[in-house]
Amino acid sequence: MILKNLDSTQGRASSLRNKVEPLLTRGLRMAGAAAVAALMFSPVVLSGEDAPPPTKPEVKPPLAAPADAKRIPKADPKVAEKPKLDPKAEEEAKQLQAQINYRLELAEIHTKYGTHEVAQGVIEQAIKLGGEANPNLKAHFMLGANLQTQKKWQEAIKEYESILPKVQLANDFVIIAVLQGDCHSQLKEFDKAEKVLLSLTAGKNNPALQREGWKRLALYWKDHPELLAKTLEGAEAAVAKNASDAEALERLAEIYTDIKVDAAKADSAMSKLIALGTKDAGVQVRLAALYERQKQYEKAIKLYQGLSAKPGSADEWDISLRVANLMVLSGKKNEAVEMVEKTLVPKAQTALAAAGLGGFYDSAEMLEKAEEAFVKAASLSQTAEQVTACLLAAAEVSRKKKDYAKAEKYVRALLKNYKDNKAIKSQANAVLVKLYEAQGRLGELNLAD
């Protein structure tokens, strides 16, 4: 989720969603930071004078994490309330905002063409117009990113520090903290960079933000092994002194799960966190995944069953299906099938649910039911891509049954219905090759053009 491929050029800022993640894996070199500034802090995610209420947002948040859009609690929500203006004052406020927006748009153009010093001046004009009473967070972020692009690290840090406490969305909080951390890294202030990233893990009321923070720290520690060694030593000492030190346990869990992998130590740290009553369900999920990798299926099942989910929700469905699949792996196939047919089959009224059942029956080697479920999923699908995935899954099940004629029937149906879709045609032809090869009849195959 954060800032992908920003270190290439400034002009490629058309989609933040396509600019996320890999940059962080190699140390956040922010040559193109200013290019994404305009894509962040759309009015729907800001507090301040120019921000309408955050309802029915027109622009998606800059990061795409399922729970990351939770708002960071504010001490006094009334502070952000907008005073009512008389018509004249309201009109003047609109004109002022128009002037600010014009300058920010102009700055984006200068950024695109690499005239960063000019862009800096225009952004500073926009900030001055807005005044200090109601700072425009987008403008301040654009200035920070601009300064970072110019390698003015200290000035960029100052801008980020000024807006970080005022950010409402966890997504934006993560982005700014990571960028600020990179500025510190560029100045060789590695302890300060680590401290900024650690601030992400302090959101006790926002488990998703905490999780993101630990992910960022893990990436940072991989690039700075000396900090990792220091952190690991400190966390081990803290737990030795106080076995209930949740923060130290979280660090150990992260390190032993994803960086310096040690299954037994990761198990110990996460088990203690769960016993302490952590609100982060992700800890249980990660521990369950660890047990799965170790083929300790009963332990994984117990953890999944301990997760709370709203009755009838997608989360409840996913948990139940996961438990059923683990029961099959643990040798309890009959019990798993009984549970699925009693609790899940009657509720499978969407393409995703039906496809999930198809996968379950396939893993349980109940191929007739698997095929039936995938065909049902195809009939419930809303897009060509979904239909394709489901019918190709049905074809694969038929191939396993050695019912090659039926498998080909599913593939030919796709070729007929989506004859102008090159991607689907390519997938379907690949499956046909596999089917004819299994029968030793490749010489008879005529592929669709």
Q: Is the pLDDT of residue 407 over 70?
A: yes
- Check the CA dihedral 290-206-160-234 and report its sign: negative
In a 10 Å sphere around its CB, with 0-12 CB exposed, 13-18 middle and 19+ buried, how is residue 68 labelled?
buried
Q: Is the pLDDT of residue 372 over 80?
A: yes
Q: Is the pLDDT of residue 443 over 90?
A: no
- C-alpha to C-alpha distances, 337 to 13, 328, 377, 400, nearest whole angstrom: 49, 8, 19, 20
Going along the chain from its start, the domains and CATH numbers come out as: 16-210 (1.25.40.10)
Closest CA to 340 of 352, 350, 328: 328
pLDDT tens digits, one per residue of 107-131 = 889 888 889 999 999 999 988 888 7
- Long-range pairs for 418-425 at CB < 8 Å and ≥24 separation? 418/384, 418/388, 419/448, 421/384, 424/384, 424/385, 424/388
> Cα 318–319–324 angle (5° rounding)?
100
| The pair of three-digit structure tokens given for residue 125, joined into one six-digit string | 């004009």
Cα maximum dimension of the chain = 82
Q: What would the DSSP string read from start to end of 412-442?
A: HHHHHHTTT-HHHHHHHHHHHHHHHHHTT-G
Q: Higher pLDDT residue, 303 or 21?
A: 303
- pLDDT band of residue 255 (cuts 50, 70, 90) is confident
pLDDT tens digits, one per residue of 26-80 = 223 333 444 334 334 333 232 333 333 333 333 233 333 333 333 433 434 444 4
Task: Quote the CA–CA distance of 71 and 205 in Å, as a whole number.
Answer: 10
- Of 34-48, 383-397, 398-412, which range is least confident? 34-48
Q: What would the DSSP string read from start to end of 220-249?
A: HHHH-HHHHHHHHHHHHHHHHH-TT-HHHH
- C-alpha to C-alpha distances, 376 to 312, 315, 354, 405, nearest whole angstrom: 21, 22, 6, 19
- Of 50-59, 92-101, 212-221, 435-444, which range is least confident? 50-59
- Which pTM does this prediction carry? 0.56
Task: Quote the CA–CA distance of 17 and 25 in Å, as a whole number.
Answer: 17
- pLDDT band of residue 23 (cuts 50, 70, 90) is very low
| The pair of three-digit structure tokens given for residue 165, joined into one six-digit string | 């406490």
Closest CA to 2 of 51, 56, 40: 40
The neighbour count for residue 308, using CB atoms within 10 Å, is 8
| The pair of three-digit structure tokens given for residue 13, joined into one six-digit string | 């800022």
Which residue has tokens 């690039």? 223
What are the residues facing 3 on neighbouring strands?
Answer: 20
Task: Quote the CA–CA distance of 355 and 373 in Å, as a whole number.
Answer: 6
Most confident of 174-178, 208-212, 214-218, 426-430: 426-430
| pLDDT reported for residue 385 | 92
| pLDDT reported for residue 197 | 82
